[in-house]
Structure 1
C-alpha cells in the first residue's frame, strides 16, 4: 500500500480516511488514478479529463471511500460482493465494514500487480465474486468455488479469530489473509493452464488427487514430518490446491509489505528494480522481515512474519509471482 497525502493541504492520509483531519476535506478513492482525491459536499469529484465521479452508494453502509461514475451506484469493489448480511442481521452488519475494508485492500494490490479481475458480469460461470456471510445463526465455511469467495464475517472478530488460530495451531490468521488465500484459488483456476499447469504439478503436486480424502487425512494426521523444508505452512501440506493458495497469499503478503515499507521510507531499495521475485525476497524481504520481527519483539509481541522460506518454497513463490506481469521476466 502506497503512502497518500491530501491534495488540498498535503497532510498524510491513511487509505481508509473519509475526511482529512487537517483541512476537513471530504475524500474519495479513485481506482483509476490510484489516489485519494477531494470530493465536494455532494460527494462529487471531477478528474483532469473533465469526467465526473461520485462516492459509492455504500459510503454509509460499509464506510466505502471509492468512486463510481454513476451517481447512486456501487463502486467496482462493492459490486464484487454478491451476497451480504440482511439489514436485520445486527451481528453480520456490524462485521460487514471490516470485511469490505480488507477486500478494498486486496483489490488495490491485485491492481498494482496487474492481475486480471474477471467479474461475474463478464463471466457468469467463473468470474470473481464475494459472498460475505454471517455465521451468527447458520454455519458458514470460508472457501472458494468457481470464482466465488465465501468469507465468514466472524473472522473479523479478533477474539473468535484468535481462538481458531490457537485451536488450529496456526502462527498467523487475519481477515485480509483469508481474502488473499481464497483469491489464490481463483487465480490458479484462471491463470494456471497448459504448460504452466505442468510446472505447477512439479512444484505443488498433482491437483487431481481427491480433495475430500486429503482433507480428512490432514485433520486426522496433521502435516507430515519435516514439512517446513518444503511448505510455507502446515495447511499448505494438505493438498496441492491449498499449497498454491497459501503460497499466493504469502506472495501478496510480501509484495504489499515491501511496497508499503518503500513508500514510507523504511527501505531505500526500489522494489521495481527487481524483475525476479526470488531476488526481491532474498535482497529485501528477508532482512526487512527480520527487522520487523525484532521490532514486534521489542514491543512484547509475537513476530510479525513467523515463517521460514525454505528453498523449495522460494521456487513456488517465484512461480506464483510470475503470473503477475510485474514479475514476468522477459
Structure 2
C-alpha cells in the first residue's frame, strides 16, 4: 500500500483518512492519481474537473472522491469501490449496517490494489457479468450467507467482521489465517480466473498452462468438495499447495494463489513505501545480500519477488512473535507453488500491460 502524505503539511496520512491527523486539513483519495488531495468546501478541483466526496462518506466512512458532474458513471455519487456493492443490509438493519462499515473499508483496499496493479475493474452496472459484491449478514437475514463467487458476483458474510466468530471458524477449519480482506482477495481470484484465464482474449494462451499447473477445472466441483470434507487434504499437501483449502479443487488452488500474490505484493509495497531495507551486514545471521524492495516487480521473474519476500516475511514474522502474536505470514512456498505464483504474476502483469494507455 502506498504511503500517502497530506498535501498541506506532508505528514503521513492513513489510507482511510478524511482529515490529516497532523494539521487537520480535509483530504480525500483521488483514485486516478492514487493520491490524497486537499478538500476545500467539500470539493477539490483536479486538472480542471471538480471532485466531491463519495455519497457514502457519512454512512460507510468512505474518503474517496468522485467527479461532481458524472453521477451516472459512479451510480449516483458513489465512488468506484462503493458502487460495486450490489446488495447490502437495509438502512433499518442497524446491526448489519454497523458491520458493513469495516467490510466496505476492506473492499476499498482491494479495489485500490486492483487498480494499482492494472487489472480491469468492470462494474456490474456497466455490463452483464461485471464485478459485484453482495455484502449480507447471516445474523440478520435469517439464513446462511455463503461466501463465494458466481458469475461476477462475490458474496461476503458480514458476520466475518466479528473477531470471535471468525477465529472460531479459523480454528475449526484448521486455517492459519482468516481475514475479511483475505476473503475478498480469494474470491476476486475466482473472478479473474474466469474473465482472464478461461474466457479472456488470452484464454488460448493461458488455459492449457493453467490446467497443467493447477489441474483441470472441469472436474466436478461438488464431488471434489465432498471428497475434501470427507477425507481432508492429502497427507503431503505441503509439497505442492499453499494451503489445505487449495487442495479442494483447481479453482480453489488458483484463488488461493491469487490471494497470496495480492498479500505478498501489497505487503512488499508497504515495506518499500516505509523505506524499509534489510542491510545484510547489520543482521546477526547470515543474509545473502541487502534486501531493498523494488519500485515494481512487473518486469522481473516471480522468483525475485519471492526471494525478497522470504527475507521481509522473516522479519515481519519475528516482529509479530515478539509481540506475542502468531507469525504474520505462516506459510511455506514450495517450488510447485512458486510456479503457480509465477503463472498468476504473468497473467496479472501481461493483462496490465495490455490495458495500459
Question: Is the TM-score greater than 0.5?
Answer: yes
Provide the residue aligned with 1:69 in structure 2: 67
State the TM-score, normalized to the length of structure 1: 0.95
Alignment of 1:1-330 (within 5 A): 1-41=1-41, 43-47=42-46, 49-70=47-68, 73-124=77-128, 126-136=129-139, 137-192=142-197, 193-267=203-277, 268-272=292-296, 275-325=299-349
CA RMSD, 1 decimal: 1.7
Secondary structure, counterpart of 1:5 in structure 2 = coil
- Following TM superposition, by how much is the alpha carbon of 1:282 offset from its aligned partner in structure 2, in angstroms? 3.4
State the TM-score, normalized to the length of structure 2: 0.88
Q: Equivalents in 2 of 1:4, 1:113: separation in Å?
A: 17
Q: Equivalents in 2 of 1:6, 1:324: separation in Å?
A: 31
Secondary structure, counterpart of 2:347 in structure 1 = coil
Q: Equivalents in 2 of 1:229, 1:7: separation in Å?
A: 48
Alignment deviations for residues 280-300 of structure 1 (CA, whole Å, 9 cap, x no partner): 333310110111111111111
Q: Equivalents in 1 of 2:351, 2:336: separation in Å?
A: 19
- Following TM superposition, by how much is the alpha carbon of 1:273 offset from its aligned partner in structure 2, in angstroms? 5.4
Alignment deviations for residues 123-151 of structure 1 (CA, whole Å, 9 cap, x no partner): 21x11010000111321000000000000
Q: Equivalents in 2 of 1:40, 1:318: separation in Å?
A: 45
Q: Equivalents in 1 of 2:102, 2:266: separation in Å?
A: 19
Aligned residue pairs total 327
- Following TM superposition, by how much is the alpha carbon of 1:162 offset from its aligned partner in structure 2, in angstroms? 0.5
Mark the runs of 5 or more structure 1 residues left unpaired by the alignment.
none
- Give the conservation status (yes or no) of the 8 Å contact 2:4–2:36: yes
Q: Equivalents in 1 of 2:295, 2:351: separation in Å?
A: 10
Q: Equivalents in 2 of 1:189, 1:326: separation in Å?
A: 16
Q: Equivalents in 2 of 1:85, 1:114: separation in Å?
A: 31
Alignment deviations for residues 62-121 of structure 1 (CA, whole Å, 9 cap, x no partner): 000111113761111111110111111122101001111001100111111111112213
